[in-house]
């Protein structure tokens, strides 16, 4: 994709400058979509690399396509600054801190998970994760479900997923329901603020590299290919941000492939909350526990590659995408279904926790704190502290 000019009067940064700027930002990338504010502050305010209106158009685009929103906004920002090469530099730089930390935590988990203090700690974290997913369900529902028909789609999705239907099939059905039963949007979307060039050879080079990656795995390491294909499929259907990937990942990792049991998967989600970056970094944990070091690497590449390519490939067609009434209804149907899917995952995760009075109180306290506006990171850190203190007192 052709390089795009920065705002008037600003010098186009080098790829190294883009990489290290987003690397520094990625070290403190806690809070998932909340990071979008800090990305805007750096690229629009501090660096003057992008015009504010163009950045805001990118945020809207990233909310309308599958994948982790913050990671996609980073790719979009890099794309606007220096084309596809800039997108890749920003994307990799922003994601590396989360990847390295999760690989380290996964290795520590493998070697220490049987120790009594660690077991006590993860029991507490499992309770907190149930509270986090329950809060995500409530938050998603409050912002998405405005009419009875929205609740109907969410309810159908929850029932179908609990009944054992593959969540990807549920999402497709919800998209069709959205097209059929949701009303046509009253207002046509305004034209986008930026001028978006057509894709060129860089997009096809990226697609070729991704195809080569999967082909090599298929020929040399079929098990790793299955892992990569699974993670890529999860990312391609995760409309609505990182938390939307949880029903898909739970189904594939726990139910379909049985790579992890429910309790271990919850532990991975807990580690995903104490690392910077999106919750889908849990894929690194899944890959590491399943196939070791290279499993972690392959799972990480696969979980982020599709959404990166979607950003690069979709930007030129954003005007059509946002003005398509069919797409808007389909997208709404998918978002409503994720409320139901998250509700069903909350139930399944809760059933995997060995509840007693302490994890029950911890889950209730975490849920209340989130409702009152506490940051997820601090809720998790406080839970770790309380669990550690309780272990010391009881032993």
Q: Each residue of 212-269: pLDDT tens digit?
A: 999 999 999 999 999 999 999 999 988 877 788 888 999 999 999 999 999 999 999 9
Measured between alpha carbons, how far is 350 from 345 in angstroms, rounded to an integer? 8
Q: Please measure the distance between the N-terminal and C-terminal CA atoms of the chain and give it in whole angstroms.
A: 60
- For residue 118, count CB atoms less than 10 angstroms from its CB and return exposed for 0-12, middle for 13-18, buried for 19 or more: middle
pLDDT in tens, 115-134: 888 888 888 888 998 998 89
Please say whether the beta carbons of 260 and 282 come within 8 A. Answer: no
CB 266 within 8 A of CB 129: yes
Q: 284 pLDDT band (50/70/90 cuts)?
A: very high
The answer to whether the CB of 227 falls within 8 A of the CB of 295 is yes
Residue 93: which of 286, 304, 284 has the closest Cα? 304
Identify the residue whose tokens are 């990807």.
168
| Mean local confidence (pLDDT), 147-162 | 91
Average pLDDT in the 333-339 region? 87
Residue with tokens 């889950």: 363
Among the ranges given (80-89, 147-156, 194-203, 245-254), the one the predictor scored with the smallest mean pLDDT = 194-203
Residue 187: per-residue pLDDT: 55
**pLDDT category of residue 192 using cuts at 50, 70 and 90:** very low
3-35 burial, b if ≥16 CB within 10 A, otherwise e? bbebeeeeeebebebbbebbbebbeebbbbbeb
Of 152, 310, 180, 327, the residue nearest 237 (C-alpha) = 310
Which residues, 6 or more positions from 66, have their beta carbon under 8 angstroms from its beta carbon? 235, 236, 237, 238, 239, 244, 306, 307, 310
Which comes out higher in pLDDT, residue 260 or 341?
260
**Token pair belonging to 12:** 């186009």
Q: Decide which of 334 and 211 is more confident.
A: 211
Tokens read off for 210: 């991704």
Average pLDDT, integer, range 336-340? 88
- The yes-or-no verdict on residue 94 having pLDDT over 80 is yes
The answer to whether the CB of 295 falls within 8 A of the CB of 302 is no
Give CA angle at 344 (227, 176), nearest 5°.
Answer: 80
Q: What is the 3-state secondary structure (H, E, C) of the chain?
A: CCCCCCCCCCCCCCHHHHHHHHHHHHHCCCCHHHHHHHHHHHHHHHCCCCCHHHHHHHHHHHHCCCCCHHHHHHHHHHHHHHHHHHHHHHHHHHHHHHHHHHHHHHHHHHHHCCCHHHHHHHHHHHHHHHHHHHHHHHHHHHHHCCCHHHHHHHHHHHHHHHCCCCHHHHHHHHHHHHHHHCCCCCCCCCCCCCCCCCCCHHHHHHHHHHHHHHHHHHHHCHHHHHHHHHHHHHHHCCCCCHHHHHHHHHHHHHHHCCCCCHHHHHHHHHHHHCCCCCHHHHHHHHHHHHHHHHHHHHHHHHHHHHHHHHHHHHHHHHHHHHHCHHHHHHHHHHHHHHHHHHHHHHHHHHHCCCCCHHHHHHHHHHHHHHHCCCCHHHHHHHHHHHHHHHHHHHC
pTM of the predicted model as reported, rounded to 2 decimal places: 0.84
């Amino acid at each position: 994709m052709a390089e795009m000019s920065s705002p008037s009067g600003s010098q186009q940064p080098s790829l190294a400058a883009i990489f290290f700027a987003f690397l520094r930002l990625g070290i403190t990338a806690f809070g998932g979509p909340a990071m979008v504010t800090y990305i805007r502050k750096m690229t629009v305010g501090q660096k003057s690399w992008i015009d504010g209106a163009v950045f805001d158009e990118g945020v809207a685009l990233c909310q309308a396509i599958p994948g982790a929103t913050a990671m996609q906004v980073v790719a979009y920002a890099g794309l606007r600054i220096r084309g596809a090469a800039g997108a890749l530099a920003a994307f990799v730089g922003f994601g590396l801190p989360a990847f390295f930390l999760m690989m380290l935590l996964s290795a520590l988990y493998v070697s220490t998970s049987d120790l009594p203090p660690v077991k006590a700690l993860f029991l507490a974290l499992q309770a907190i994760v149930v509270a986090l997913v329950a809060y995500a369900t409530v938050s998603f529902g409050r912002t998405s479900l405005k009419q009875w028909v929205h609740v109907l789609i969410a309810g159908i999705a929850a029932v179908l997923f609990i009944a054992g239907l593959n969540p990807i099939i549920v999402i497709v059905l919800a998209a069709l329901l959205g097209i059929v039963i949701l009303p046509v949007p009253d207002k046509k979307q305004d034209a986008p603020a930026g001028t978006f060039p057509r894709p060129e050879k860089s997009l096809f080079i990226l697609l070729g590299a991704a195809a080569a990656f999967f082909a090599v795995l298929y020929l040399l390491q079929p098990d790793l290919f299955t892992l990569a294909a699974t993670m890529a499929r999860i990312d391609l259907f995760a409309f609505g941000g990182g938390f939307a990937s949880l029903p898909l990942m739970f189904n594939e990792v726990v139910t379909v492939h049985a790579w992890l049991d429910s309790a271990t998967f919850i532990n991975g989600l807990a580690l995903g909350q104490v690392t910077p970056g999106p919750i889908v970094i849990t894929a690194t944990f899944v890959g590491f526990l399943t196939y070791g070091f290279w499993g972690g690497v392959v799972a990480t590449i696969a979980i982020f590659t599709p959404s990166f390519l979607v950003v690069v490939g979709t930007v030129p067609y954003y005007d059509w995408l946002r003005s398509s009434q069919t797409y808007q209804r389909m997208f709404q149907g998918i978002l409503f279904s994720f409320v139901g899917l998250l509700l069903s995952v909350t139930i399944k995760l809760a059933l995997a926790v060995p509840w007693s009075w302490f994890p029950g109180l911890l889950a209730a306290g975490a849920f209340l704190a989130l409702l009152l506006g506490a940051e997820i990171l601090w809720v998790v850190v406080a839970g770790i502290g309380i669990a550690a203190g309780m272990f010391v007192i009881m032993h």
